[in-house]
Structure 1
Protein backbone atom coordinates (compact mmCIF):
# COMPACT_ATOMS: atom_id res chain seq x y z
CA UNK A 1 0.00 0.00 0.00
CA UNK A 2 1.37 3.39 -0.98
CA UNK A 3 2.03 6.07 1.63
CA UNK A 4 0.10 8.59 -0.45
CA UNK A 5 -3.48 7.74 -1.38
CA UNK A 6 -4.63 11.02 -2.98
CA UNK A 7 -7.98 10.63 -1.22
CA UNK A 8 -7.36 13.77 0.79
CA UNK A 9 -6.27 16.00 -2.05
CA UNK A 10 -9.52 17.97 -1.86
CA UNK A 11 -9.04 18.80 1.82
CA UNK A 12 -11.13 15.97 3.23
CA UNK A 13 -10.32 12.83 5.23
CA UNK A 14 -12.18 9.81 6.53
CA UNK A 15 -12.94 9.21 10.17
CA UNK A 16 -12.56 5.73 11.55
CA UNK A 17 -16.35 5.54 11.60
CA UNK A 18 -16.31 6.11 7.78
CA UNK A 19 -17.68 9.68 7.70
CA UNK A 20 -15.91 12.10 5.35
CA UNK A 21 -14.99 15.43 6.98
CA UNK A 22 -12.77 18.37 6.18
CA UNK A 23 -9.24 18.25 7.56
CA UNK A 24 -9.84 21.33 9.70
CA UNK A 25 -12.77 19.64 11.42
CA UNK A 26 -12.66 19.97 15.22
CA UNK A 27 -12.53 16.21 15.64
CA UNK A 28 -9.53 15.98 13.30
CA UNK A 29 -7.87 18.80 15.25
CA UNK A 30 -8.39 16.79 18.43
CA UNK A 31 -6.82 13.51 17.36
CA UNK A 32 -4.12 15.34 15.40
CA UNK A 33 -3.13 17.16 18.59
CA UNK A 34 -2.98 13.82 20.42
CA UNK A 35 -0.52 12.69 17.72
CA UNK A 36 1.60 15.81 18.42
CA UNK A 37 1.64 14.97 22.12
CA UNK A 38 2.81 11.44 21.45
CA UNK A 39 5.61 12.78 19.24
CA UNK A 40 6.80 15.11 22.02
CA UNK A 41 6.73 12.17 24.44
CA UNK A 42 8.78 10.23 21.90
CA UNK A 43 11.34 13.04 21.93
CA UNK A 44 11.60 12.74 25.72
CA UNK A 45 11.94 8.98 25.39
CA UNK A 46 14.78 9.33 22.88
CA UNK A 47 16.66 11.79 25.09
CA UNK A 48 16.61 9.79 28.30
CA UNK A 49 18.86 6.91 29.30
CA UNK A 50 16.64 6.01 32.24
CA UNK A 51 14.76 2.79 31.64
CA UNK A 52 12.12 3.61 34.25
CA UNK A 53 11.18 6.76 32.32
CA UNK A 54 10.88 4.83 29.05
CA UNK A 55 8.77 2.20 30.82
CA UNK A 56 6.27 4.92 31.75
CA UNK A 57 6.22 6.79 28.43
CA UNK A 58 6.04 3.96 25.89
CA UNK A 59 2.86 2.21 27.12
CA UNK A 60 1.09 5.57 27.23
CA UNK A 61 2.07 6.26 23.63
CA UNK A 62 0.47 2.92 22.70
CA UNK A 63 -2.71 3.93 24.55
CA UNK A 64 -2.75 7.29 22.76
CA UNK A 65 -3.19 5.43 19.47
CA UNK A 66 -6.37 3.90 20.88
CA UNK A 67 -7.47 7.25 22.27
CA UNK A 68 -7.00 8.91 18.88
CA UNK A 69 -9.08 6.10 17.37
CA UNK A 70 -11.88 6.85 19.83
CA UNK A 71 -11.74 10.51 18.81
CA UNK A 72 -11.91 9.47 15.17
CA UNK A 73 -15.11 7.53 15.85
CA UNK A 74 -18.30 9.58 15.49
CA UNK A 75 -21.61 8.51 17.03
CA UNK A 76 -22.86 6.87 20.22
CA UNK A 77 -24.15 3.56 18.93
CA UNK A 78 -22.24 0.35 19.62
CA UNK A 79 -20.43 1.63 22.74
CA UNK A 80 -18.39 -1.55 22.85
CA UNK A 81 -16.25 -0.32 19.97
CA UNK A 82 -14.51 2.28 22.15
CA UNK A 83 -11.02 1.45 23.36
CA UNK A 84 -10.20 3.78 26.28
CA UNK A 85 -11.95 2.97 29.55
CA UNK A 86 -12.06 4.12 33.15
CA UNK A 87 -9.39 1.53 33.99
CA UNK A 88 -6.91 3.38 31.75
CA UNK A 89 -7.60 6.58 33.66
CA UNK A 90 -7.15 4.81 36.99
CA UNK A 91 -3.82 3.40 35.80
CA UNK A 92 -2.55 6.93 35.11
CA UNK A 93 -3.66 8.01 38.58
CA UNK A 94 -1.73 5.10 40.08
CA UNK A 95 1.46 6.18 38.29
CA UNK A 96 0.97 9.77 39.45
CA UNK A 97 0.58 8.65 43.07
CA UNK A 98 3.82 6.62 42.87
CA UNK A 99 5.76 9.51 41.35
CA UNK A 100 4.40 11.97 43.91
CA UNK A 101 5.95 9.90 46.69
CA UNK A 102 9.38 10.58 45.15
CA UNK A 103 8.91 14.19 44.07
CA UNK A 104 10.16 17.20 46.00
CA UNK A 105 7.15 19.57 46.17
CA UNK A 106 7.40 22.75 44.10
CA UNK A 107 6.81 26.04 45.91
CA UNK A 108 7.04 28.21 42.81
CA UNK A 109 5.87 28.20 39.21
CA UNK A 110 8.02 25.84 37.15
CA UNK A 111 10.07 27.24 34.26
CA UNK A 112 10.59 24.41 31.74
CA UNK A 113 14.09 23.58 30.54
CA UNK A 114 15.86 22.21 33.59
CA UNK A 115 17.03 19.22 31.55
CA UNK A 116 16.46 18.16 27.90
CA UNK A 117 14.21 15.28 28.98
CA UNK A 118 12.07 17.36 31.35
CA UNK A 119 11.80 20.09 28.69
CA UNK A 120 10.41 17.54 26.19
CA UNK A 121 8.00 16.23 28.83
CA UNK A 122 6.80 19.76 29.58
CA UNK A 123 6.29 20.32 25.86
CA UNK A 124 4.23 17.12 25.70
CA UNK A 125 2.25 18.28 28.74
CA UNK A 126 1.23 21.56 27.11
CA UNK A 127 0.24 19.76 23.90
CA UNK A 128 -1.91 17.34 25.91
CA UNK A 129 -3.60 20.34 27.52
CA UNK A 130 -4.34 21.68 24.03
CA UNK A 131 -5.73 18.29 23.01
CA UNK A 132 -8.00 18.40 26.05
CA UNK A 133 -9.29 21.82 24.99
CA UNK A 134 -9.95 20.46 21.50
CA UNK A 135 -11.98 17.62 22.98
CA UNK A 136 -14.03 20.04 25.05
CA UNK A 137 -14.87 21.93 21.86
CA UNK A 138 -15.91 18.75 20.01
CA UNK A 139 -18.00 17.64 22.97
CA UNK A 140 -20.15 20.78 22.81
CA UNK A 141 -21.66 19.71 19.49
CA UNK A 142 -21.01 16.00 19.22
CA UNK A 143 -20.51 12.86 21.30
CA UNK A 144 -17.07 12.07 22.69
CA UNK A 145 -16.45 8.88 24.65
CA UNK A 146 -16.31 10.22 28.28
CA UNK A 147 -13.05 8.54 29.44
CA UNK A 148 -11.14 10.30 26.63
CA UNK A 149 -11.27 13.75 28.26
CA UNK A 150 -10.51 12.29 31.69
CA UNK A 151 -7.51 10.42 30.29
CA UNK A 152 -6.05 13.58 28.74
CA UNK A 153 -6.55 15.53 31.95
CA UNK A 154 -4.73 12.92 34.05
CA UNK A 155 -2.01 12.52 31.42
CA UNK A 156 -1.10 16.21 31.61
CA UNK A 157 -0.76 15.88 35.39
CA UNK A 158 1.37 12.76 34.98
CA UNK A 159 3.72 14.45 32.52
CA UNK A 160 4.17 17.39 34.90
CA UNK A 161 5.11 15.15 37.83
CA UNK A 162 7.33 12.95 35.65
CA UNK A 163 9.24 16.00 34.38
CA UNK A 164 9.88 17.16 37.94
CA UNK A 165 11.09 13.70 39.03
CA UNK A 166 13.47 13.57 36.07
CA UNK A 167 14.90 17.00 36.97
CA UNK A 168 15.28 15.96 40.58
CA UNK A 169 17.14 12.77 39.68
CA UNK A 170 19.45 14.67 37.30
CA UNK A 171 20.31 17.05 40.15
CA UNK A 172 21.28 14.17 42.42
CA UNK A 173 23.46 12.70 39.64
CA UNK A 174 25.17 16.07 39.14
CA UNK A 175 25.98 16.46 42.83
CA UNK A 176 27.20 12.86 43.05
CA UNK A 177 29.43 13.42 40.04
CA UNK A 178 31.00 16.44 41.75
CA UNK A 179 31.69 14.36 44.84
CA UNK A 180 33.30 11.59 42.76
CA UNK A 181 35.49 14.14 40.98
CA UNK A 182 36.60 15.42 44.37
CA UNK A 183 37.54 11.92 45.48
CA UNK A 184 39.32 11.13 42.22
CA UNK A 185 41.36 14.33 42.50
CA UNK A 186 43.06 13.11 45.68
CA UNK A 187 44.87 10.22 43.99
CA UNK A 188 47.89 10.08 41.71
CA UNK A 189 48.46 7.62 38.85
CA UNK A 190 49.69 4.87 41.17
CA UNK A 191 46.59 5.22 43.34
CA UNK A 192 48.51 6.51 46.36
CA UNK A 193 47.16 9.47 48.30
CA UNK A 194 49.06 12.62 47.38
CA UNK A 195 47.57 15.08 49.85
CA UNK A 196 45.33 14.48 52.82
CA UNK A 197 43.74 16.26 55.74
CA UNK A 198 45.59 15.16 58.88
CA UNK A 199 44.55 15.68 62.48
CA UNK A 200 47.50 18.04 62.89
CA UNK A 201 46.30 20.24 60.05
CA UNK A 202 42.75 20.15 61.33
CA UNK A 203 43.80 21.23 64.82
CA UNK A 204 45.80 24.15 63.42
CA UNK A 205 42.71 25.35 61.55
CA UNK A 206 40.49 24.91 64.59
CA UNK A 207 42.89 26.83 66.84
CA UNK A 208 43.09 29.86 64.55
CA UNK A 209 39.34 29.75 63.92
CA UNK A 210 38.66 29.67 67.66
CA UNK A 211 40.99 32.62 68.21
CA UNK A 212 38.98 34.66 65.67
CA UNK A 213 35.70 33.56 67.29
CA UNK A 214 36.97 34.75 70.67
CA UNK A 215 38.07 38.02 69.12
CA UNK A 216 34.55 38.73 67.80
CA UNK A 217 33.07 37.28 71.02
CA UNK A 218 30.84 34.65 69.38
CA UNK A 219 31.00 31.04 70.65
CA UNK A 220 31.30 28.72 67.66
CA UNK A 221 31.42 25.08 66.67
CA UNK A 222 34.20 24.35 64.17
CA UNK A 223 34.37 21.15 62.13
CA UNK A 224 37.05 19.92 59.73
CA UNK A 225 36.47 17.03 57.31
CA UNK A 226 38.67 15.16 54.84
CA UNK A 227 38.25 15.03 51.05
CA UNK A 228 35.50 12.42 51.40
CA UNK A 229 33.48 14.57 53.81
CA UNK A 230 34.44 12.42 56.81
CA UNK A 231 34.98 14.13 60.14
CA UNK A 232 38.63 14.66 61.14
CA UNK A 233 38.12 16.96 64.12
CA UNK A 234 35.36 19.08 65.66
CA UNK A 235 35.52 21.60 68.48
CA UNK A 236 32.64 23.19 70.39
CA UNK A 237 33.44 26.37 72.28
CA UNK A 238 31.77 26.97 75.63
CA UNK A 239 28.36 28.53 75.08
CA UNK A 240 27.96 27.44 71.45
CA UNK A 241 24.44 26.27 70.65
CA UNK A 242 23.76 22.56 70.19
CA UNK A 243 22.34 22.99 66.67
CA UNK A 244 25.71 24.28 65.51
CA UNK A 245 27.28 20.85 66.04
CA UNK A 246 25.48 19.28 63.09
CA UNK A 247 25.30 22.48 61.04
CA UNK A 248 29.07 23.06 61.15
CA UNK A 249 29.73 19.48 60.07
CA UNK A 250 27.20 19.74 57.21
CA UNK A 251 28.77 23.00 56.06
CA UNK A 252 32.20 21.37 55.87
CA UNK A 253 30.68 18.37 54.06
CA UNK A 254 28.88 20.63 51.55
CA UNK A 255 32.04 22.63 50.82
CA UNK A 256 33.85 19.39 49.98
CA UNK A 257 30.94 17.91 47.99
CA UNK A 258 30.51 20.98 45.78
CA UNK A 259 34.15 22.16 45.83
CA UNK A 260 33.01 25.68 46.60
CA UNK A 261 32.27 27.88 49.62
CA UNK A 262 28.74 27.21 50.82
CA UNK A 263 27.58 30.80 50.31
CA UNK A 264 28.29 30.47 46.58
CA UNK A 265 25.80 27.59 46.34
CA UNK A 266 22.92 29.88 47.29
CA UNK A 267 22.44 31.56 43.90
CA UNK A 268 22.34 28.46 41.64
CA UNK A 269 20.07 26.75 44.18
CA UNK A 270 17.50 29.58 44.19
CA UNK A 271 14.10 29.23 42.40
CA UNK A 272 14.42 29.14 38.62
CA UNK A 273 18.15 28.41 38.65
CA UNK A 274 19.96 25.26 37.49
CA UNK A 275 20.44 23.74 40.97
CA UNK A 276 17.08 24.74 42.47
CA UNK A 277 16.21 22.29 45.24
CA UNK A 278 19.84 21.35 45.88
CA UNK A 279 19.48 21.79 49.64
CA UNK A 280 16.61 19.27 49.74
CA UNK A 281 18.73 16.44 48.33
CA UNK A 282 21.01 14.03 50.20
CA UNK A 283 18.71 13.95 53.20
CA UNK A 284 18.83 17.75 53.51
CA UNK A 285 22.51 17.66 54.42
CA UNK A 286 23.69 20.15 51.79
CA UNK A 287 23.89 23.69 53.21
CA UNK A 288 23.56 26.73 50.93
CA UNK A 289 24.47 29.57 53.28
CA UNK A 290 27.88 30.78 54.37
CA UNK A 291 30.32 29.19 56.80
CA UNK A 292 31.72 26.26 54.85
CA UNK A 293 34.95 26.47 52.80
CA UNK A 294 36.80 23.75 50.83
CA UNK A 295 40.47 23.28 51.64
CA UNK A 296 42.97 22.86 48.79
CA UNK A 297 46.65 21.98 48.97
CA UNK A 298 48.54 22.85 45.75
CA UNK A 299 45.33 22.68 43.78
CA UNK A 300 44.21 19.35 45.26
CA UNK A 301 41.09 19.19 47.43
CA UNK A 302 42.02 17.72 50.80
CA UNK A 303 39.02 18.62 52.94
CA UNK A 304 36.76 21.37 54.21
CA UNK A 305 36.07 23.53 57.24
CA UNK A 306 32.61 24.39 58.55
CA UNK A 307 31.71 26.97 61.18
CA UNK A 308 28.38 27.65 62.89
CA UNK A 309 27.24 29.70 65.83
CA UNK A 310 26.90 33.31 64.76
CA UNK A 311 25.48 35.26 61.86
CA UNK A 312 26.32 34.09 58.36
CA UNK A 313 28.93 36.85 58.14
CA UNK A 314 30.45 35.81 61.48
CA UNK A 315 30.61 32.16 60.39
CA UNK A 316 32.33 33.09 57.13
CA UNK A 317 34.86 35.30 58.93
CA UNK A 318 35.80 32.55 61.39
CA UNK A 319 35.98 29.88 58.65
CA UNK A 320 38.33 32.07 56.61
CA UNK A 321 40.50 32.60 59.67
CA UNK A 322 40.70 28.83 60.16
CA UNK A 323 41.70 28.36 56.54
CA UNK A 324 44.42 30.98 56.93
CA UNK A 325 45.78 29.04 59.92
CA UNK A 326 46.59 26.11 57.64
Structure 2
Protein backbone atom coordinates (compact mmCIF):
# COMPACT_ATOMS: atom_id res chain seq x y z
CA UNK A 1 0.00 0.00 0.00
CA UNK A 2 1.27 3.47 -0.90
CA UNK A 3 0.59 6.72 0.91
CA UNK A 4 0.10 8.33 -2.51
CA UNK A 5 -3.43 7.86 -3.87
CA UNK A 6 -3.58 10.73 -6.39
CA UNK A 7 -7.22 11.30 -5.37
CA UNK A 8 -6.33 14.74 -4.00
CA UNK A 9 -4.64 15.97 -7.17
CA UNK A 10 -7.64 18.11 -8.05
CA UNK A 11 -7.68 19.94 -4.73
CA UNK A 12 -10.16 17.77 -2.86
CA UNK A 13 -10.04 15.37 0.07
CA UNK A 14 -12.43 13.45 2.33
CA UNK A 15 -13.12 13.36 6.03
CA UNK A 16 -12.91 10.12 8.02
CA UNK A 17 -15.54 7.60 6.90
CA UNK A 18 -16.94 9.92 4.27
CA UNK A 19 -17.08 9.35 0.52
CA UNK A 20 -18.03 12.92 -0.40
CA UNK A 21 -15.07 14.98 -1.64
CA UNK A 22 -14.37 18.33 0.05
CA UNK A 23 -12.25 21.19 -1.23
CA UNK A 24 -8.86 21.39 0.45
CA UNK A 25 -9.45 25.08 1.11
CA UNK A 26 -12.73 24.37 2.97
CA UNK A 27 -12.67 25.84 6.47
CA UNK A 28 -12.68 22.47 8.25
CA UNK A 29 -9.72 21.26 6.19
CA UNK A 30 -7.83 24.52 6.84
CA UNK A 31 -8.38 24.12 10.60
CA UNK A 32 -7.22 20.49 10.50
CA UNK A 33 -4.10 21.59 8.64
CA UNK A 34 -3.30 24.26 11.21
CA UNK A 35 -3.66 21.79 14.08
CA UNK A 36 -1.39 19.37 12.19
CA UNK A 37 1.18 22.12 11.59
CA UNK A 38 1.09 23.00 15.29
CA UNK A 39 1.74 19.37 16.16
CA UNK A 40 4.76 19.32 13.84
CA UNK A 41 6.19 22.41 15.52
CA UNK A 42 5.79 20.72 18.89
CA UNK A 43 7.74 17.76 17.55
CA UNK A 44 10.54 20.18 16.72
CA UNK A 45 10.35 21.71 20.21
CA UNK A 46 10.76 18.23 21.72
CA UNK A 47 13.67 17.37 19.42
CA UNK A 48 15.51 20.59 20.34
CA UNK A 49 15.23 20.02 24.09
CA UNK A 50 18.30 18.74 25.94
CA UNK A 51 18.07 15.06 26.94
CA UNK A 52 18.02 16.00 30.61
CA UNK A 53 14.78 17.95 30.16
CA UNK A 54 12.48 14.91 30.31
CA UNK A 55 9.67 16.73 32.13
CA UNK A 56 9.07 19.34 29.42
CA UNK A 57 9.62 16.74 26.69
CA UNK A 58 6.95 14.49 28.24
CA UNK A 59 4.53 17.42 28.60
CA UNK A 60 5.03 18.31 24.93
CA UNK A 61 4.47 14.66 23.95
CA UNK A 62 1.18 14.57 25.87
CA UNK A 63 0.02 17.75 24.13
CA UNK A 64 0.97 16.21 20.77
CA UNK A 65 -1.20 13.18 21.54
CA UNK A 66 -4.11 15.46 22.44
CA UNK A 67 -3.62 17.40 19.19
CA UNK A 68 -3.90 14.09 17.30
CA UNK A 69 -7.20 13.49 19.11
CA UNK A 70 -8.36 17.00 18.15
CA UNK A 71 -7.33 16.36 14.55
CA UNK A 72 -9.24 13.08 14.55
CA UNK A 73 -12.31 14.79 16.00
CA UNK A 74 -12.14 17.54 13.39
CA UNK A 75 -11.61 14.99 10.60
CA UNK A 76 -14.87 13.27 11.50
CA UNK A 77 -17.90 14.58 9.60
CA UNK A 78 -20.14 16.65 11.91
CA UNK A 79 -23.04 14.19 11.63
CA UNK A 80 -20.91 11.22 12.79
CA UNK A 81 -19.78 10.47 16.33
CA UNK A 82 -16.00 10.98 16.53
CA UNK A 83 -13.75 8.17 17.78
CA UNK A 84 -11.98 10.73 19.97
CA UNK A 85 -13.50 13.73 21.68
CA UNK A 86 -11.89 16.37 23.87
CA UNK A 87 -13.69 16.91 27.17
CA UNK A 88 -13.47 19.28 30.13
CA UNK A 89 -11.03 16.90 31.83
CA UNK A 90 -8.42 17.54 29.10
CA UNK A 91 -8.90 21.31 29.44
CA UNK A 92 -8.57 21.18 33.25
CA UNK A 93 -5.47 18.98 32.96
CA UNK A 94 -3.81 21.53 30.67
CA UNK A 95 -4.80 24.36 33.03
CA UNK A 96 -3.22 22.49 35.95
CA UNK A 97 0.02 21.96 34.00
CA UNK A 98 0.02 25.63 33.03
CA UNK A 99 -0.44 26.71 36.65
CA UNK A 100 2.36 24.39 37.82
CA UNK A 101 4.87 25.76 35.32
CA UNK A 102 3.76 29.37 35.67
CA UNK A 103 4.21 29.30 39.45
CA UNK A 104 7.96 28.88 39.11
CA UNK A 105 8.48 31.86 36.80
CA UNK A 106 9.25 35.50 37.57
CA UNK A 107 7.06 37.95 35.64
CA UNK A 108 9.00 41.08 34.68
CA UNK A 109 5.89 43.13 33.92
CA UNK A 110 7.11 43.75 30.36
CA UNK A 111 6.62 42.06 27.03
CA UNK A 112 8.98 39.15 26.44
CA UNK A 113 10.46 38.85 22.98
CA UNK A 114 10.45 35.36 21.44
CA UNK A 115 13.88 33.75 21.40
CA UNK A 116 16.54 32.34 23.68
CA UNK A 117 17.24 28.62 23.61
CA UNK A 118 16.37 27.07 20.21
CA UNK A 119 13.63 24.93 21.83
CA UNK A 120 12.17 28.04 23.51
CA UNK A 121 12.26 29.99 20.25
CA UNK A 122 10.45 27.12 18.52
CA UNK A 123 7.89 26.99 21.36
CA UNK A 124 7.15 30.65 20.58
CA UNK A 125 6.67 29.73 16.90
CA UNK A 126 4.33 26.93 18.01
CA UNK A 127 2.44 29.45 20.16
CA UNK A 128 1.91 31.69 17.13
CA UNK A 129 0.75 28.74 15.01
CA UNK A 130 -1.58 27.76 17.88
CA UNK A 131 -3.16 31.20 17.81
CA UNK A 132 -3.70 30.91 14.06
CA UNK A 133 -5.25 27.47 14.55
CA UNK A 134 -7.55 28.99 17.16
CA UNK A 135 -8.65 31.74 14.76
CA UNK A 136 -9.40 29.15 12.07
CA UNK A 137 -11.33 26.99 14.55
CA UNK A 138 -13.39 30.00 15.63
CA UNK A 139 -14.10 30.74 11.97
CA UNK A 140 -15.15 27.09 11.49
CA UNK A 141 -17.37 27.26 14.59
CA UNK A 142 -19.35 30.04 12.91
CA UNK A 143 -20.09 27.71 9.98
CA UNK A 144 -20.38 24.28 11.62
CA UNK A 145 -20.62 22.78 15.07
CA UNK A 146 -17.23 22.55 16.81
CA UNK A 147 -16.76 20.96 20.21
CA UNK A 148 -16.44 23.95 22.60
CA UNK A 149 -13.84 22.02 24.61
CA UNK A 150 -11.58 21.96 21.53
CA UNK A 151 -11.79 25.76 21.37
CA UNK A 152 -11.02 26.05 25.09
CA UNK A 153 -8.10 23.62 24.89
CA UNK A 154 -6.49 25.43 21.96
CA UNK A 155 -7.00 28.78 23.71
CA UNK A 156 -5.25 27.51 26.85
CA UNK A 157 -2.56 25.84 24.77
CA UNK A 158 -1.18 29.12 23.42
CA UNK A 159 -0.72 30.33 27.01
CA UNK A 160 0.83 26.99 27.94
CA UNK A 161 3.32 27.23 25.08
CA UNK A 162 4.34 30.74 26.17
CA UNK A 163 5.04 29.40 29.65
CA UNK A 164 6.86 26.37 28.22
CA UNK A 165 9.14 28.70 26.22
CA UNK A 166 9.89 30.72 29.34
CA UNK A 167 10.51 27.57 31.38
CA UNK A 168 12.96 26.24 28.79
CA UNK A 169 14.89 29.52 28.89
CA UNK A 170 14.92 29.51 32.68
CA UNK A 171 16.25 25.94 32.84
CA UNK A 172 18.89 26.79 30.22
CA UNK A 173 19.83 29.89 32.26
CA UNK A 174 19.18 32.14 29.29
CA UNK A 175 18.10 35.68 30.12
CA UNK A 176 14.96 36.68 28.28
CA UNK A 177 14.84 39.87 26.27
CA UNK A 178 12.04 42.19 27.35
CA UNK A 179 10.41 45.04 25.50
CA UNK A 180 8.62 47.98 27.06
CA UNK A 181 8.03 50.00 23.91
CA UNK A 182 9.07 53.55 23.25
CA UNK A 183 7.60 56.09 25.57
CA UNK A 184 7.26 59.71 24.74
- TM-score higher than 0.5 here? yes
Alignment of 1:83 with 2:90, yes or no, is no
Any gaps of 5 or more consecutive residues in structure 2?
180-184
Give CA-to-partner distance per residue, 1:102-160, whole Å, 9 cap, x none: 11113111111111111000000110110000001111111112211111001111101
The DSSP-based 3-state class of the residue aligned with 1:143 is coil
Give CA-to-partner distance per residue, 1:18-53, whole Å, 9 cap, x none: 142001111111010011111111111111111111
Asked if 2 retains the 8 angstrom alpha-carbon contact of 1:34 and 1:68, the reply is yes
- Structure whose residues are more often strand by fraction: 1
Aligned position for 1:10 = 10
Once superposed, what is the RMSD of the aligned Cα atoms? 1.8
1:141-290 → structure 2 map (5 Å cutoff): 141-171=143-173, 271=178
Measure how far apart 1:101 and its partner are: 1.3
Any gaps of 5 or more consecutive residues in structure 1?
175-267, 273-326
Q: Distance in 1 between matches of 2:176 and 2:127?
A: 25
Q: Distance in 1 between matches of 2:30 and 2:23?
A: 10
Aligned position for 1:251 = none
Asked if 1 retains the 8 angstrom alpha-carbon contact of 2:112 and 2:176, the reply is no
User: Between Structure 1 and Structure 2, whose CA radius of gyration is higher?
Assistant: 1
Q: Distance in 2 between matches of 1:270 and 1:33?
A: 28
Length-normalised TM-score, structure 1: 0.51
Say which structure, 1 or 2, has more relative contact order (CA 8 Å, 6+ apart). Answer: 2
Length-normalised TM-score, structure 2: 0.89
Asked if 1 retains the 8 angstrom alpha-carbon contact of 2:127 and 2:162, the reply is yes
Residue-pair matches, total: 176
Aligned position for 1:38 = 39
Aligned position for 2:57 = 54
Q: Give 2:66's match in structure 1, choosing from 63, 73, 88.
A: 63
Q: Distance in 2 between matches of 1:82 and 1:36?
A: 19
